[in-house]
Amino acid sequence: MSIHLAKSAGFCFGVDRAVTRLQELAKERPVATLGPIIHNQQAVERLQEQGIYAVESIDELAPGTTLAIRTHGVAQAVVQELENRGVDYVDLTCPFVKKIHRIVAEQYQNGRKIVIVGDKNHPEVVGINGWCENNAILALDIFDLHGKIEEYDLVCVVSQTTMDRKTFTKIEKFIKDTCKDPLIFDTICSATNERQQEAVAIAKQSDVMVVVGGRHSANTRKLAELCQAHCGAVYQIEHFGEFPQNIKIPNQKIGITAGASTPPWIIKEVVGEMEEMNTMGNESFAQEFEEYEKSLVTLNTGDIVKGTVMAVTEAGVSVNLGYKSDGFIPAGEVSDDPDADIAELVKPGDEIEVFVVRVNDVEGEVTLSKKKLDSIASAREVEEAAETKAILKGKIVQAVNGGVIASYKGTRVFIPASQASDRYITDLNALVGQEAEFRVLEVKKIRGRSKIIGSIKDVLKERKAAAAETFWSSVEVGKTYQGVVKSLTKFGAFVDVGGVDGLVHISELSWGKIGHPSEVLKEGDVAEVYILEFDKEKGKISLGFKKAEDNPWVKAKAELSVGAVIDCKIVRIVPFGAFAEIYPGVDGLIHISQVANKRIGKVEDELMVGQHVKAKVVELDFDAQKIGLSIRALLEEQEAPAAEEAVAEEVAAPVEEAVAEEVVEASAEEVAEATEE
């Protein structure tokens, strides 16, 4: 057996600096760290033996204890809270991480979108995000950036210090191809890069590769993943006790590396134990490992595989792939529709085809996506539709400068404002959320990406042309249609009656007088209309809306008769008289000669608009829709009894005078009697 230990294995500069400083402080006063100082349980336990404990929040800090900020760093708000509360603290943030904090804070203040290439759950990334108010875009793959950055966005890119070079380069290229002027900072720690390159070189020459480090350490997991691509037997262990004791290592080439948070004493222990195992005369490990490997399905990032749905929860979908562990589809990767109910889309027992987003053999995690697979398939469909001129149906998901974005099974299609409708639309946001049919006009390849341009207008025009042909072939006067009000003008409403617009004149909207069509209809209303007349050659159609049964003259004919006394309201005064409303839509004329029982110079001297009066019907002509009214006739009728009474009073006057003369000489009893008569 030969053992090849990586020179870069173990503590990096930042971790070594932090641990050394903690041990020095602990000799002077009580010290606690805000979270584990590093991702290595054995190292943390050894620090505890020296009186250095980890706390999860500032509130857990014992009085008189100095708080140490760990190498991963913290958010700006945490530092501010420490300052505000007067906590005695020492900042052990790795200098390389500290530099990223400064970059992010400065560029965020300059108005740039911050992109952090890294694991969103890693403490270092959480801390960096806290220096731009937690508004960063977090990405481990280019798929994490889809729909989040546009061509003219000002973007600043930084990376988790322990990120692998391949992932960063891939995302860097995507951003350069997408944005016009990105600001990119390569913040991968040089020590991390050297450690990874050395680990790969050793793995290529080894039969067994051992990666030593905490199971929660991101840089240790990444080392293991890189080694797995070049060595068939890779083991990530926290200490030698986790190395499988049944593995036979004699005559094998053993490679050993360790993560940045692995202390030297653990590495030394692993090397010593491996050398001791070599003396035990075990059988060849290679054959046993080969048999074990054959029993497992091999998965790689980018694979398209089939599996069986095992469980569906709000968080996502578990899928059995025949791998050593189930794959998982996060809820956001099931469908491109954010409002979709994933429990309705997939059910336990369903066979499902998925895209392998990420394989983490060390943690036994397989991240899957159905949405990405749908997007790949839909992208092919869209390109085919551009050639065949097929009509696609998608959802308008966003209004952008100059148009809208339609989503077709996860593929974004840009529809210019001029192509968003067959009519001018003032506010494109009104289209967001609507389902729309469109045709792909063009697919542009720009720096490796497809920019798809579509048209809703093209489909609408085609549909309208077909509908118009059907309409003109069957149109006839009096035929009724369920139309949609498209627009209103001061003289009427334009209604789509099946690919063709007709005009309902304002006079045809109501039997009563209206000032504007909006008093009866509004845009988007479904209205029952009928053909009054049409001219196919000129493409003109006159429509009716008001119903015959609602005609107030029908009611007037049934209820009014000459001689009837009615209540009415003065609605208009003219030199020759006044018009009074009897019913809405039915007016009668009170001629100036019929306004009063005397001669008048002006109608306004007796009547005013809005005044309610009683009048007598003196004339009816329903064919000409004319009604004559008279106030004078009523006044004269009221005066006739008064005149008769006056004549009677004149005849009775001499008698009363005679009675009075007699009364002078009459008794009281006779006066009362005469008065009573």
Binned at pLDDT 50, 70 and 90, residue 641 comes out as: low
pLDDT at residue number 361 = 55
pLDDT at residue number 657 = 43
Contacts of 608-612 spanning 24+ positions with Cβ under 8 A: 608/570, 608/573, 609/570, 609/571, 609/572, 609/573, 610/569, 610/570, 610/571, 611/569, 611/570, 612/567, 612/568, 612/569, 612/570
pLDDT digits (tens, 9 = 90+) for 537-555: 888 999 999 887 778 888 8
Element (DSSP H or E) covering residue 316 = strand 316-320
Alpha-carbon Rg for the chain, nearest whole angstrom, is 46
pLDDT at residue number 646 = 55
In angstroms, the CA 362 to CA 216 distance is 10
CA nearest to 408, candidates 456, 446, 344, 462: 456
More confident residue, 150 or 134: 134
Binned at pLDDT 50, 70 and 90, residue 289 comes out as: very low
CA nearest to 517, candidates 507, 531, 529: 507
DSSP 65: P
pLDDT at residue number 5 = 85
pLDDT digits (tens, 9 = 90+) for 588-620: 999 999 999 888 889 999 999 999 999 999 999
Residues with catalytic function: 124
Query: Which tokens hold the place of 353?
Result: 């085809």
* Contact in structure between 395 and 416 (CB atoms under 8 Å): no
Compute the average pLDDT of residues 425-431.
87
182: number of Cβ within 10 Å: 19
pLDDT at residue number 360 = 67
The yes-or-no verdict on residue 202 having pLDDT over 70 is yes
Kindly report the average pLDDT of the chain as a whole number: 83
Binned at pLDDT 50, 70 and 90, residue 281 comes out as: very low
pLDDT at residue number 364 = 56
Among 97-101, 282-286, 669-673, the minimum mean pLDDT is found in 669-673
Share of residues in the chain with pLDDT > 90 (%):
29
The yes-or-no verdict on residue 663 having pLDDT over 50 is no
The yes-or-no verdict on residue 656 having pLDDT over 50 is no
Compute the average pLDDT of residues 456-475.
87
The yes-or-no verdict on residue 575 having pLDDT over 70 is yes
pLDDT at residue number 668 = 40
The yes-or-no verdict on residue 480 having pLDDT over 50 is yes
CA nearest to 361, candidates 301, 320, 303, 304: 301
pLDDT at residue number 676 = 40
The yes-or-no verdict on residue 446 having pLDDT over 80 is no
Hey, is 349 helix, strand or coil? coil
Instruction: Indicate the residue type of 42.
Output: Q
The yes-or-no verdict on residue 339 having pLDDT over 80 is no
* Contact in structure between 452 and 416 (CB atoms under 8 Å): no
Hey, is 414 helix, strand or coil? strand
Among 58-67, 266-275, 441-450, the minimum mean pLDDT is found in 441-450
Binned at pLDDT 50, 70 and 90, residue 296 comes out as: low
pLDDT at residue number 260 = 81
pLDDT at residue number 647 = 54
The yes-or-no verdict on residue 71 having pLDDT over 60 is yes
The yes-or-no verdict on residue 630 having pLDDT over 70 is yes
Share of residues in the chain with pLDDT > 70 (%):
88
In angstroms, the CA 326 to CA 330 distance is 13
The yes-or-no verdict on residue 184 having pLDDT over 90 is yes
Residue 19: is it exposed, middle or buried by C-beta count within 10 angstroms (0-12/13-18/19+)?
buried
Element (DSSP H or E) covering residue 293 = helix 285-294
pLDDT digits (tens, 9 = 90+) for 361-418: 545 578 888 888 877 777 888 888 888 888 999 899 888 888 999 888 778 889 999 9
Instruction: Count the residues in the chain.
Output: 677
pLDDT at residue number 677 = 36
